[in-house]
Amino acid sequence: MKVKEGIQLFRIDPDEDFHLRDHDPGWAGTKEMRELGEDELKDRAKQILQNRLAELADAQEVLYANDIYSVLLIFQAMDAAGKDGTIKHVMSGVNPQGCQVFSFKKPSDEELDHDFLWRYQRNLPERGRIGIFNRSYYEDVLVVKVHPELLERQKLPAGEKGDRFWKHRYQSINDFERHLARNGTLILKFFLNVSKDEQKKRFLERLTNPEKHWKFSEADVAEREHWDDYQSAFEDAIRETTTGSVPWYVIPADHKWVTRTLVAIIIAEKVRELGLAHPVLTEEQSARLADARKRLEGE
Ligand code: AMP
Ligand code: MG
């Protein structure tokens, strides 16, 4: 499968109606790929991941040297879908100085004293950097939509908090992202699509394996009871905030190696498409370098 076609399988098209049911969390390769057999397929995926990580490391250097674009990677998902692991693997090859990760939890009192985009805006990546949002302003149309009491804490002006209210939030997000895109931020949004069965398996693994106990939180099981509400909130959010300039990628997440490989492929390809090269010096800059070299050599 060609990379571009592959990416298209997972990129949501703003002109088509979006339904989560059309996206299989258990996807593990096209028919031709599956004919390779699982072990062979996994080995190839690992190889691709390695190559893409190397490409990403190079791309990051060029991004940094150019100092024009920044890259914002947004990860959203149900609990245990693999956000942390994907971030860890995909960014394992890049220079830590060019990369910033922010994990967003429940907003603080100070954060609640501002509009919902404020805390995210303050943590955007600088030019030349890759910024990762482990959860993001999308929580404000996901968990906050599923739990209306969280919205009450946001101290908003009185008024109906129905469909129109959420439409306006999606609009604010679209406007914000369009603004960032126009000003040099490449935004890549990933929804890691895990199935309810696989989530249960992973929770049970957290409860059984002592090394994974720390990952377990009782709140996760409570949230699982709202599974359908979350799926519907994700579906609405993805449908309403997939735009031509900033689309969503819905990534199958029941197989960790699939998730990691696809995310690495998409990031490497999209950064490559920025068409950046090492900056070329002006004549004046070249002359200065030659001069500096002469002085050093003459010491
Ligand atoms: P974790 O990522 O597992 O540490 O959990 C972070 C928790 O913070 C999750 O339960 C999120 O739903 C919650 N959270 C993140 N952003 C918001 C937000 N804007 N409003 C309310 N809860 C949030
Ligand atoms: Mg958690």
What's residue 106's pLDDT? Answer: 97
Q: Output 62 or 36, whichever has higher pLDDT.
A: 62
CB of 102 closer than 6 A to ligand 1? no
Nearest to 5 by CA among 38, 30, 37, 39: 30
Of the segments 16-30, 228-242, 261-275, which one has the largest average pLDDT value? Answer: 228-242
pLDDT of residue 84: 97
State the distance from the centre of ligand 2 to the C-alpha of 101, rounded, in angstroms: 16
Classify each residue of 56-72 as buried b or exposed e, where b means 16 or more C-beta atoms within 10 Å of its C-beta. Answer: bbebbbbbbebeebbbb
Mean pLDDT of 59-71: 95
Q: How many Å separate Cα 187 from the centre of its chain?
A: 8
Name the closest-CA residue to atom 1, ligand 1.
Answer: 105
State which ligand 1 atom lies nearest to the alpha carbon of 150.
21
Q: Which residues contact 224 (CB under 8 A, 6 or more apart)?
A: 79, 196, 199, 200, 203
Q: How confident is the model at residue 1 (pLDDT cuts 50, 70, 90)?
A: low
**pLDDT confidence tier of residue 270, bands split at 50, 70 and 90:** very high
Q: How far is the CA of 210 from the centre of ligand 1 (A)?
A: 24
The C-alpha atoms of residue 265 and residue 271 are separated, in whole angstroms, by 10
Query: At residue 118, does pLDDT exceed 90?
Result: yes
Q: Is the pLDDT of residue 268 over 80?
A: yes
**Closest C-alpha to ligand 1, atom 8:** 105
Ligand 1 lined by 83 (C-beta under 6 Å) = no
Can you tell me which atom of ligand 1 is nearest the CA of 137? 19
- Per DSSP, helices labelled H in 225-255 are 227-241
How much is the pTM? 0.95
Cβ(107) – ligand 1 distance below 6 Å: yes
- Which ligand 1 atom is at minimum distance from the Cα of 219? 10
Percent of the chain with pLDDT over 90: 86
- DSSP H or E segment with residue 251: strand 248-252
pLDDT of amino acid 189? 98
pLDDT in tens, 180-226: 999 999 999 999 999 999 999 999 999 999 999 999 999 999 999 99
Q: Which amino acid is at 6?
A: G
Which ligand has its closest atom nearest to the C-alpha of 154?
1
**Shortest CA distance to 199 belongs to which of 23, 55, 80, 108?**
80
Cα–Cα distance for residue pair 288/65, rounded to 1 Å: 18
